[in-house]
Amino acid sequence: MRVRDLPLPDEVVAHYEASDITELYPPQEAAVDAGVTRGENAVVAIPTASGKTFIAELAMLTAGGPALYIVPLRALAREKYETFSELPGVSVGISTGDLDSTEELGAYDVVVATSEKVDSAIRNGASWVDDLACVVVDEVHLLGSKGRGPTLEVTMATLGRRAPDVQIVALSATVANPDEIADWLDATLVQSRWRPIDLRTGVYADGSVAFDDGSTLAVPVDASEGENGATAATVELVRGAVDDGGQCLAFVRSRREAEALADRLADEAIGEAATIAADVRSAGGTDTGRRLADCVEASVAFHHAGLRSEHRAIVENAFRARELKCICATPTLAAGVNVPARRVVVRDQQRYTGSGMEWLPVLEVHQMCGRAGRPHLDPYGEAVLVTGDDAGRAELQSRYVGAAPEAVESQLAEREALRTHVLAVVASGFAESREGVLDVLDATFYAHGTDESLAGLVDDVVADLVDWEMLTAETGLSATDLGGVVSRQYVAPRTGARIVEGLRTMATMEPDDVTGLTALEVVCDTPDMHGTYLGNRERAAMYQYARTHADELTTAMGETETFERWLESVKTARILLEWADGDSTEELVERYRIGPGDLESRIERAEWLLGAADTVADVLGADGSAFRAVRERL
């Protein structure tokens, strides 16, 4: 099937043909046959690089009305925004942050947004949601994610209520049960293993890689003194791909390991990228940024959440432009950001989770391996898992190479998530009774896939919300003013309850004791603030800091149920206060052993939470000036 045979405007056809897109890939043709250009729902489960974005564009361009593209990550949102903005005659909007408004998005033909921003728009009654003709959900397998899954699931269910005739196209590269998702969405399943570039996956052990197609690759490893075999093999695998004219992604378990491997590869002098290194240096002067720039000089980069967002973007864009030879990354890079490479090396298949080392999910490893093979650039793609011996080889072949990814299972029954979405359902006017809530939730993936009722759990979370004065249950269910504000501000109910508790404690404190630290301790001691690691060496100093400033804190040390978590929140509050007082990123990164990206994300979240706390104070008739003052200083 040719592009010019599709029901697209002439200027769009010309745009595709100018990009050498003239013939459809087999999965794309199957999607057209399934009706994506006729407004039909579809679940598209095809490998990475097989043309999912083009299928999404076909659906959005032929929908006859505004379209929404939902992504899990901000980096992916920016990438898709730039891609869709190249389409002729199409206006594109983007919404990803906690602070940006969604009201103006109705003016665009296509809106790219995270699921959280769409959920927020629905809660706040954004009128443009009602006019949507097409919704594309990227990485739909994240329905099974404990963090993002419930929000994505409820958002998809409520979108169907706000816009009953909307077309839904769900995309995924790795999902074990796409038929169940398709059944839930009343959609046609388009499933294929076809790739434009062949991918072979293998396991390295004892000097060679055994691939799943029966071929082998000798890897001469000379482990230098002090270097373990896995790292030595990874270095050789990267160097081999680069020497052959390709690029490489190397995945490791932690930030420290990513930086160490990048340093090691930089010593190999596999390339040169002085211009990109200069861009990195100009984007920030922390020690992390300088180390990154030093690696980039040799055409190697590391990539993890501790990097500033600008540094991550420079690395991703330079790699896509083939100006970097290798990225050493934590698994987060594999979650949807388009950075394909000739070879992918997964050095570590386990990571520390707080209670010990655990195997990575099959789905996550498949996501990494799927990055192998650059369309129009590579004759093939290779993914290699690294282990030490034949026993390890057999383990990895069984566990990952020959295994299907885990089935997607709903996480909606998790109490914290359910509490959030029950409040939103009532506060948004979707339900006015227990039965109404259950009716809304009956449209979720959870309800579709199980015979177990959510009724008992709903009763429990309603009781929590009544106790926190966010719902009333005297005659049916309704949100209080407090509950409405908590939902519209997009904070978790438990965050709202902690803010209320903090405000009430602040009202009993001496006026001079209510400071910026007070306000920051309240918002940092909530589930919506990212935690900050508290090392053993700094625990005593942070304990002393909390004792010294006890009069400014709303929680007494002896009264907290989770002392370690609270002490971490005091550390976060202290860092943010010192930032507000003028300390530089470089000083804080060095003093508190956090990444520049960690500081960046906590500042942004603090702004959002301080604004929410001020709004909660207003609805309670309390004094929110401490929240306003420190937010302005941030």
pLDDT (tens digit, 9 = 90+) per residue, 151-177? 999 999 999 888 889 999 999 987 889
Q: 418 and 484: one domain? A: yes
**Burial of 324 (C-beta count, 10 Å sphere; 0-12/13-18/19+):** buried
Q: 395 and 428: one domain? A: no
Q: Does residue 406 lie in a domain region?
A: no
> Structural domain of residue 565, as residue ranges?
493-634
How many angstroms from the chain centroid is the CA of residue 215? 36
- CATH number at 178 reads 3.40.50.300
pLDDT for 48 equals 84
pTM metric for this prediction: 0.93
Distance CA 79, CA 86 (A): 11
Indicate the range of 112-116, 221-225, 352-356, 540-544 predicted with least confidence: 221-225
Distance CA 123, CA 113 (A): 15
Q: Does residue 407 lie in a domain region?
A: no
Element (H, E) at 112: strand 110-114
Q: Identify which of 147, 152, 123, 154 has the alpha carbon closest to the alpha carbon of residue 530.
A: 147
User: Do β-strands 471-472 and 478-479 pair in parallel, antiparallel, or remain unpaired?
Assistant: antiparallel
Structural contact between residues 425 and 123, judged by C-beta atoms closer than 8 angstroms: no
Q: 147 and 274: one domain? A: no
pLDDT for 98 equals 47
- Domain termination site, one of 374, 401, 428: 401
Structural contact between residues 75 and 315, judged by C-beta atoms closer than 8 angstroms: no
Element (H, E) at 345: strand 343-346
pLDDT for 310 equals 92
For residue 4, is pLDDT > 50? yes
Q: Does residue 335 lie in a domain region?
A: yes
Q: What is the mean pLDDT of residues 367-392?
A: 91
For residue 363, is pLDDT > 70? yes
- Domain termination site, one of 401, 432, 455: 401
pLDDT in tens, 518-575: 999 999 999 999 888 888 888 999 999 999 999 999 998 878 878 889 999 999 999 9
Q: Classify the C-alpha dihedral 424-123-156-153 as positive or negative.
A: negative
pLDDT in tens, 307-344: 998 999 999 999 999 999 999 999 878 775 788 899 99
Q: Does residue 512 lie in a domain region?
A: yes
Give residue 479's pLDDT band: very low, low, confident or very high (50, 70, 90). Answer: very high
Q: Identify which of 23, 158, 7, 138 has the alpha carbon closest to the alpha carbon of residue 70.
A: 138
Q: 506 and 482: one domain? A: no
Distance CA 551, CA 540 (A): 19
Q: 624 and 514: one domain? A: yes
Q: Does residue 87 lie in a domain region?
A: yes
171 φ/ψ angles, rounded to the nearest 5 degrees: -120, 140
Number of structural domains in the chain? 4
Q: 332 and 418: one domain? A: no
One-letter-per-residue 3-state SS of 546-571: HHHCHHHCCCCHHHCCCHHHHHHHHH
Q: Does residue 593 lie in a domain region?
A: yes
CB atoms within 10 A of CB 379: 10
CB proximity list for 582: less than 8 A, separation 6 or greater = none
For residue 40, is pLDDT > 70? yes
Q: 539 and 606: one domain? A: yes
Distance CA 346, CA 331 (A): 9
Distance CA 270, CA 268 (A): 6
Compute the CA torsion angle 9, 13, 15, 21 (nearest 10 deg).
Answer: 150
For residue 615, is pLDDT > 60? yes
How many angstroms from the chain centroid is the CA of residue 182? 23
- CATH number at 429 reads 1.10.10.10
CB atoms within 10 A of CB 393: 22
Which of the pair, 8 or 72, is modelled with greater confidence?
A: 8
Q: Does residue 154 lie in a domain region?
A: yes
Buried/exposed code over 581-616 (b: 16+ C-beta within 10 A; e: otherwise) = eeeebbebbeebebbbbbbbbbbebbbbbbbbbbbb
- CATH number at 572 reads 1.10.3380.30
pLDDT for 100 equals 46
User: What angle is formed at CA 174 by the lines to CA 173 and CA 176, rounded to 5 degrees?
Assistant: 135
Q: What is the DSSP letter of 614?
A: H
How many DSSP H helices and E strands does the chain contain?
26, 19
pLDDT in tens, 497-510: 999 999 999 999 99
pLDDT for 49 equals 83
Q: What is the DSSP letter of 379?
A: S
Q: Identify which of 349, 32, 90 has the alpha carbon closest to the alpha carbon of residue 205.
A: 349
Tell me what percent of the residues of the chain surpass a pLDDT of 90.
80
Give residue 362's pLDDT band: very low, low, confident or very high (50, 70, 90). Answer: very high
Distance CA 360, CA 190 (A): 27
Structural contact between residues 110 and 90, judged by C-beta atoms closer than 8 angstroms: yes
Structural contact between residues 383 and 344, judged by C-beta atoms closer than 8 angstroms: yes
Q: How many residues does the chain have?
A: 634
Q: 254 and 302: one domain? A: yes
Q: What is the mean pLDDT of residues 48-70?
A: 95
Q: 486 and 501: one domain? A: no
Q: 518 and 477: one domain? A: no
User: Rounded to the nearest 10 degrees, what angle do helices 481-488 and 596-620 cross at?
Assistant: 160
Which of the pair, 268 or 577, is modelled with greater confidence?
A: 577
Q: 367 and 468: one domain? A: no
- Domain termination site, one of 490, 505, 535: 490
Q: What is the mean pLDDT of residues 489-503?
A: 97
Q: Does residue 497 lie in a domain region?
A: yes
Give residue 99's pLDDT band: very low, low, confident or very high (50, 70, 90). Answer: very low
Q: Classify the C-alpha dihedral 489-494-495-501 as positive or negative.
A: positive
Beta bridge partners of 68: 111, 135
How many angstroms from the chain centroid is the CA of residue 565? 23
Q: 572 and 520: one domain? A: yes
For residue 609, is pLDDT > 90? yes
pLDDT for 593 equals 87
Q: What is the mean pLDDT of residues 263-286?
A: 91
Q: Which two tokens stand for residue 625?
A: 């000036």
